[in-house]
């Protein structure tokens, strides 16, 4: 566990943790607002956004890709709202309609424009490539204190850390309006807490987290982390902030444990190849949810209480 | 409209009325659900808005609060636009409009009444908590303070909502069907609290559907069926003719007898 670990495993684990927590934090509120599918929607619509950005710039510049993805994500958010309002359908159906259509457009664009030859292929979009995010500049643990080596860290880590900080700040500063807007919108509006703006900000934050994480780790982790850690935490507590903290812890734990199990698990079992880290991270968090659903204290809600 | 009996009330200067509504039409998509409503709340009284289903009672309340688009007319709250008098108004929405599975405790809901005072980042101090607890005490729900809100019965939830409004310390309290689907103990507790608000000089407007209790609980009533039918002291307004006009002649003699 020396130089090799620092070079090959530490950066992906850190990136996985940042991505997982950055998605899980807004995921708590999306889940409570019955918008949990939004992570799924956003992580699909970034594909056409990235393809269009690639076609426009002719290069795989990460900034252009992310801008394209973010624009597509925000466009999708607006379209979902439009379909929901004007089509008068439930939010889940509106999301399903918009994201499948836009994702399909992305697939067609990929196929017909020759963009499919590059690294931006569908498989990469789905599974990400966490294992490739290595730290060449590192020599051993001491590199963590060496500015020159730190500058060589994968740029994804910095971007995800930034989004993570933004998510923490947004939720910490707007915690009261967020709770009021989610629990009782009428009250929130009547008391001037601007629930619509707070909700839109949350969705934009979720879109930014999804796009950034998607680029680094792929759609599977993004979709899983928006929903699974918050849902697991919800089964373990009836206190909102306990749930939020728990979900962050569970997300980080699944990311670290999933990466290690994917990388070393098959070897421990006598296999020869590691398996997809993204897949294993999502599986680990899914198993956590299954455990909580089976054993969690909040499986039976709404038990009646005697009148005082 | 019969001016007799209502005459002195119209002398109350409008800027002293907790809530004055003139020619208000409101509804979604440009289609008014209520039209041409005039209404004046007298300080220190309990007022009911009564009418059949679909009469626009909730819409009227929501239009006052800016939750439903106003299409015409004016609303003055303590002589000012609602946005400027917001801090003096508390609103208790219909129970059905809320997500009761939300992971908050009863005390957290009562503390929401202090959001405005606390601001975004203000710390909850002992005196804030004491006020929230006092509000729960007044509605008889203090012993449930640490329960998750979804574990409570419908009546208990309604009382916690009233406690949140009390914690706001508002001078005008608007309630949307507070007695819908609650037990008798809750109904009695809510009425007791509303009457104590009146004693303190505060004003209450309540969307109400039970004709049998209007005269017993409320001082004044607005009869509404998409348009206002009549407004004034309950004993003057609740006439057979007015009720027939409000309910479109669908009330039986037995119903009418129940009202008084």
Give me the interface pTM, i.e. the ipTM.
0.87
Note the pLDDT tens digit of each residue in A80-111.
878 877 887 887 888 888 989 998 988 888 88
Q: Which of A186, A239, A305 sits opposite B93 (nearest CB)?
A: A186
Residues of B in contact with A301 (CB under 8 A): 101, 148, 150-151
CB contact under 8 A, B86 and A301: no
Higher pLDDT, A3 or B228: B228
Q: Is A301 in contact with B101 (Cβ distance < 8 A)?
A: yes
Count of A–B CB contacts within 8 Å? Answer: 100
Residues of B in Cβ contact (< 8 Å) with A182: 99, 102
The strand pair at B220-225 and B227-233 is best described as antiparallel
Cβ neighbours of B250 (radius 10 Å): 10
Name the residue facing A237 among B98, B103, B152 (closest C-beta): B103
Residue of B nearest to A236 (CA): B103
Q: Please report which confidence band the pLDDT of residue A234 belongs to, taking 50, 70 and 90 as the band edges.
A: very high
When pLDDT is averaged across residues B138-153 and rounded to a whole number, the result is 92
Q: Give the pLDDT of residue A115.
A: 61
Give residue B166's pLDDT. 95
Q: Please tell me the predicted confidence (pLDDT) of residue B160.
A: 95
**Pairing between β-strand B203-208 and β-strand B172-176 as defined by DSSP bridges:** parallel
CB-closest option in A174, A240, A302 to B104: A240
Tokens coding A38: 């939004």
Is B153 within 8 Å of A304 when comparing Cβ atoms? Answer: yes
Residue of A nearest to B139 (CA): A308
Query: Is-contact B198 B44, C-beta < 8 A?
Result: yes
pLDDT band of B2, cuts 50, 70, 90: very low
Residues A155-195: pLDDT tens digits?
889 999 999 999 999 999 999 999 999 999 899 999 999 98
Of A182, A193, A303, Cβ closest to residue B115: A193
B15 versus A10: which is more confidently predicted? A10
Contact yes or no for B144 and A237 at CB 8 A:
no
Q: Is residue B195 over pLDDT 90? A: yes
Domains and CATH numbers, chain B: 14-258 (3.40.50.300)
Cβ proximity of A15 and A156 under 8 Å: yes
Q: Residue A190's closest chain B neighbor by CA?
A: B65
* B44 min Cα distance to partner chain A (Å): 22
Q: Bigger pLDDT: A299 or B66?
A: B66
Cα–Cα distance for residue pair A171/B142, rounded to 1 Å:
29
Asked if B151 and A182 come within 8 Å (Cβ–Cβ), the reply is no
pLDDT band at A251 (very low <50, low <70, confident <90, very high): very high
To the nearest whole angstrom, how far is the Cα of B5 from the nearest Cα of chain A? 34
Instruction: Output the pLDDT for position B202.
Output: 95
To the nearest whole angstrom, how far is the Cα of B253 from the nearest Cα of chain A? 37
What is the band of B15 on the pLDDT scale with cuts at 50, 70, 90?
A: low
Contact B97 A186 (CB under 8 A): yes
* Closest in B86, B118, B156 to A176, CB measured: B118
Please determine, for residue B57, whether its predicted confidence score (pLDDT) is greater than 90.
Answer: yes
Mean of the pLDDT values across residues A57-84? 81
Mean pLDDT of A220-225: 88
More confident site: B12 or A12: A12
Which residues in chain B touch residue A305, judged by CB atoms under 8 angstroms apart? 144, 147, 151-153, 156
Of A32, A176, A302, Cβ closest to residue B120: A176
- Please tell me the CATH superfamily of domain A2-218, with its number: ABC transporter involved in vitamin B12 uptake, BtuC (1.10.3470.10)
């Amino acid at each position: 566990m020396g130089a090799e670990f620092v070079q090959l495993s530490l950066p992906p684990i850190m990136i996985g943790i940042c991505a997982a927590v950055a998605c899980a934090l807004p995921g708590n509120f999306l889940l409570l607002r019955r918008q949990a599918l939004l992570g799924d929607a956003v992580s699909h619509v970034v594909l056409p956004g990235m393809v269009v950005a690639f076609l426009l710039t002719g290069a795989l510049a990460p900034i252009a890709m992310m801008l394209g993805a973010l624009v597509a994500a925000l466009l999708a958010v607006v379209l979902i709202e439009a379909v929901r309002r004007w089509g008068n359908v439930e939010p889940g159906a509106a999301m399903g309609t918009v994201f499948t259509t836009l994702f399909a457009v992305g697939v067609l664009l990929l196929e017909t424009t020759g963009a499919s030859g590059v690294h931006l292929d569908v498989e990469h979009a789905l599974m990400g490539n966490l294992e490739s995010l290595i730290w060449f500049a590192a020599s051993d643990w001491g590199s963590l204190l060496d500015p020159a080596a730190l500058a060589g860290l994968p740029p994804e880590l910095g971007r995800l850390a930034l989004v993570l900080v933004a998510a923490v700040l947004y939720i910490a500063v707007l915690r009261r309006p967020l709770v009021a807007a989610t629990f009782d919108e009428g009250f929130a509006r009547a008391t001037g807490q601007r629930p619509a703006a707070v909700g839109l900000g949350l969705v934009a934050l979720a879109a930014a987290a999804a796009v950034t994480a998607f680029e680094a780790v792929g759609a599977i982790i993004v979709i899983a982390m928006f929903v699974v850690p918050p849902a697991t935490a919800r089964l373990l507590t009836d206190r909102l902030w306990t749930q939020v903290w728990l979900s962050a812890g569970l997300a980080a734990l699944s990311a670290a444990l999933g990466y290690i199990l994917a990388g070393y698990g098959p070897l421990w079992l006598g296999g020869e190849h590691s398996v997809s880290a993204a897949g294993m991270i999502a599986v680990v968090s899914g198993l956590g949810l299954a455990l909580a659903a089976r054993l969690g204290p909040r499986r039976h809600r709404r038990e009646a209480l005697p009148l005082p | 409209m019969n001016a007799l009996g209502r005459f002195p009330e119209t002398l109350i200067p409008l800027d002293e009325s907790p809530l004055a509504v003139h020619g208000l039409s409101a509804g979604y998509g440009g289609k008014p659900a209520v039209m041409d409503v005039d209404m004046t709340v007298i300080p220190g009284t309990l007022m009911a808005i009564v009418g059949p289903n679909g009469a626009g009672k909730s819409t009227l309340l929501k239009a006052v609060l800016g939750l439903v688009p106003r299409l015409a007319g004016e609303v003055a709250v303590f002589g000012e636009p609602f946005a400027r008098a917001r801090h003096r108004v508390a609103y208790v929405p219909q129970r059905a409009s809320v997500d009761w599975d939300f992971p908050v405790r009863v005390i957290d809901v009562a503390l929401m009444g202090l959001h405005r005072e606390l601001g975004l980042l203000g710390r909850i101090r002992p005196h804030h908590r004491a006020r929230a607890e006092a509000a729960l005490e007044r509605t008889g729900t203090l012993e449930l303070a640490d329960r998750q809100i979804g574990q409570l019965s419908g009546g208990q939830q309604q009382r916690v909502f009233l406690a949140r409004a009390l914690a706001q310390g508002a001078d005008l309290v608007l309630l949307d069907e507070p007695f819908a689907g609650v037990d008798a103990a809750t109904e009695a507790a809510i009425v007791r609290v509303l009457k104590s608000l009146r004693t303190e000089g505060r004003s209450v407007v309540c969307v109400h559907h039970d004709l049998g209790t209007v005269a017993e609980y409320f001082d004044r009533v607005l009869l509404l069926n998409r348009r206002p039918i009549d407004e004034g002291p309950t004993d003057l307004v609740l006439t057979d003719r007015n009720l027939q006009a409000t309910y479109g002649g669908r009330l039986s003699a037995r119903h009418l007898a129940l009202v008084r």
